[in-house]
A = this chain, B = another copy of it.
Amino acid sequence: MRIAIVNPNTTSSMTDTVVAFAASSARADTTLVGVTPLTGAPSIETHIDEVHGAASVLFEIERLESGPTDGRPDAYVIACFGDTGLPGAREAASGPVVGMTEAALMTAALLAHRFTIITMPARTMEQSDRVVRTLGMGHRVTVRAVDEPVAEVTNGSLHLLELFVAEARRAMTDDHAEAIVLGCAGLADLVEPLTAALGVPVIEGVAAAITLAEGLVAQGLSTSRASTWGRAGGMVS
């Protein structure tokens, strides 16, 4: 099985980090292909970044879909919190597409009654809220931020551990959080030390999304073409 992890931003070190981390929990026979756009935004922090990121995601998926069949991914994962460009991606891809945010929320809901997303720039809380609302999980999730720029995690995120521990403890005390969702694609380094420090599950969305994508492919399931994500000229007949 071949799964493309599409990073909506142009920072290939972030792609490398998530591919490496996700590899450890992927199926043995899964090939993970990291995809980094050549042009676009270096990080997705603002809503303008999201416009560029969505275009990058779409461009990369269309490129892969129009290439040779044997290199075409069986499924895609969007590796940016907020699931940048997910609706268009679902339409463009022949196989299923899973966003890291929706995957992280679903995974957390299997492990904890209430849980908290800790995102980085405070201004991206709205993007988290958008996914929470789409799924309807507002009664179980709170959103918090450590308010550092995404650029901080280009070369790893371990130096942010203390900030995340502090914010997570506040979530556990004030919001009764029983699990933590890492709200950015570059935070894989934090999973282990944060889990050790907090004693509750810490969820990295790209790894979670790979699992879901693999499962969809294994079950022979893909995006419904009935209406919302029907392919141009290819409705249900």
Q: Give the chain B neighbours of A125 by CB distance below 8 A.
A: 113, 176, 227-228
Q: Quick check: B228 and A113 within 8 Å, CB to CB?
A: yes
Q: Give the chain B neighbours of A91 by CB distance below 8 A.
A: 46-48
In this complex, the interface size class of chain A, counting residues with CB under 8 Å from chain B, is 35 or more
A201 within 8 A of B: yes
Question: What string of 1s and 0s marks CB contacts (under 8 Å) between A119-155 and chain B?
Answer: 0001101100110011111111000000000000000
A60 within 8 A of B: no
Kindly identify, within residues 174 to 232 of chain A, every residue whose CB is under 8 Å from any CB belonging to chain B: 176-179, 198-201, 203-204, 207-208, 210-212, 214-216, 218-230, 232
| Shortest distance between the CB of A105 and any CB in chain B (Å) | 9
A63 within 8 A of B: no
CA distance A227 to B46 in the complex (A): 10
Q: Quick check: B126 and A98 within 8 Å, CB to CB?
A: no
CA distance A213 to B130 in the complex (A): 24
Known: A112-B228, A227-B125. A58 touches B54 (CB 8 A): no
Q: Quick check: B47 and A110 within 8 Å, CB to CB?
A: no
In the assembly, how many copies of this chain are there?
6
Q: Quick check: B199 and A221 within 8 Å, CB to CB?
A: no
Most buried by B among A48, A133, A139: A48
Q: Give the chain B neighbours of A114 by CB distance below 8 A.
A: 228
A92 within 8 A of B: yes
Q: List 27 A-B contacts (CB under 8 A).
A: A26-B218, A27-B28, A46-B232, A51-B58, A51-B88, A54-B54, A102-B110, A107-B221, A111-B221, A112-B226, A113-B227, A125-B176, A129-B139, A133-B139, A135-B135, A135-B136, A136-B137, A178-B227, A199-B225, A199-B226, A199-B236, A200-B226, A203-B221, A204-B219, A210-B215, A211-B212, A212-B215
Q: A52-B55, A109-B135, A178-B229 are in contact. List 15 more A-B contacts (CB 8 A).
A: A27-B27, A27-B218, A47-B229, A102-B110, A123-B228, A125-B176, A125-B227, A130-B134, A135-B135, A136-B139, A178-B227, A200-B236, A201-B224, A211-B211, A211-B219
